[in-house]
Amino acid sequence: MKLRTLKRLPIATANLLAALALVAISATIVSAADDRANLGPVGPHEPILATIGGKRLIAYYEQSGEGCAVSAVVFDTAATGGGHESTRVRVILRPGELFQLEAVENEQVVLTCGPKARILTVLNRGELLTKAASVN
């Protein structure tokens, strides 16, 4: 196996690469703070992302036999407390069972486990998308 030697990059090229890396990192941080939604269906270890009231929900699951072992984290999106105080909920759902997370503002996210724990999805996604569109 022949090893190649790396040539030194000119300083201008190195600075350009550093600037591009900084832009990429900044874009990632900004996108993590926005209100993107992924209401499913998702497979194991893939995130469900939703907004309910002034809170954000991140949920994922692992297969547990024929069921879905769901972990959900709910946190505040307000500028004063965004993400600092969070609540984690864990529950095992059998296929077809529902798990409702309710917010104070009479909003909810309803998660359901699919057949043989192949998927997890938000059952009331139309309701959530309609509310999100009316806010924006």
Read off the pLDDT of residues 57-111 as tens digits, 9 standing for 90 and up.
999 999 999 999 999 999 887 766 555 678 999 999 999 999 999 887 788 999 9
Q: Is residue 20 part of a domain?
A: no
| pLDDT the model gives residue 54 | 80
Query: H helices of 1-136, where?
Result: 11-33, 125-135
- pTM, whole model, 2 decimals? 0.67
Report the domain count for the chain: 1
Q: Which of 50, 33, 40 is nearest to 108 (CA)?
A: 50
Q: Is residue 57 part of a domain?
A: yes
CA distance 6 to 31: 34
CA distance 66 to 96: 11
CA distance 62 to 40: 15
> Domain range for residue 129?
35-135
Provide the pLDDT confidence category of residue 133 given band limits of 50, 70 and 90: confident
Q: Is residue 55 part of a domain?
A: yes
Q: Is residue 23 part of a domain?
A: no
Mean pLDDT for 19-29 is 47
Q: Is residue 91 part of a domain?
A: yes
Q: Is residue 88 part of a domain?
A: yes
End-to-end CA distance of the chain: 57
Q: Is residue 127 part of a domain?
A: yes
Q: Which residue has the tokens 């907004």?
A: 51
Provide the pLDDT confidence category of residue 17 given band limits of 50, 70 and 90: low
Q: Is residue 9 part of a domain?
A: no
Distance set, CA 18 to CA 22, 26, 31 (Å): 6, 12, 20
Distance set, CA 57 to CA 50, 86, 130 (Å): 5, 10, 17
